[in-house]
């Protein structure tokens, strides 16, 4: 019975880690004069998703020249992490 409970707790710990998701936005400059360009980066750390954020809300105040994305999947010491990035 103890082995069953231990295995259940270990499985629960791994499954909780799999549901952890974060979205981080950052710019490559802190001060941007009007009319200057900057790079906005969105990092999504969580489950693999093929969905793209809706950037149309930025069209009112910004000119978007291009959007690129990348995907990384890592398996280190039994832990899987996935990162999708849009720039």
Reported pTM: 0.66
pLDDT, tens digit (0-9, with 9 covering 90-100), for 11-57: 544 444 445 678 888 989 888 888 899 898 988 887 666 778 888 88
For residue 46 the two structure tokens come to 């969580």
Nearest to 85 by CA among 68, 65, 64: 68
Confidence class for position 76, pLDDT limits 50, 70, 90: confident
For residue 29 the two structure tokens come to 């400059």
């Amino acid at each position: 019975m103890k082995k069953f409970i231990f295995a259940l707790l270990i499985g629960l710990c791994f499954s909780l880690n799999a549901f952890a998701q974060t979205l981080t936005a950052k710019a490559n400059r802190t001060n941007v004069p009007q009319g200057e360009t900057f790079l906005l980066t969105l990092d999504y750390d969580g489950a693999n998703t093929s969905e793209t954020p809706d950037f149309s809300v930025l069209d009112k105040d910004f000119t978007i020249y291009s959007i690129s994305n990348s995907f990384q999947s890592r398996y280190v010491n039994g832990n899987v992490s996935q990162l999708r990035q849009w720039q």
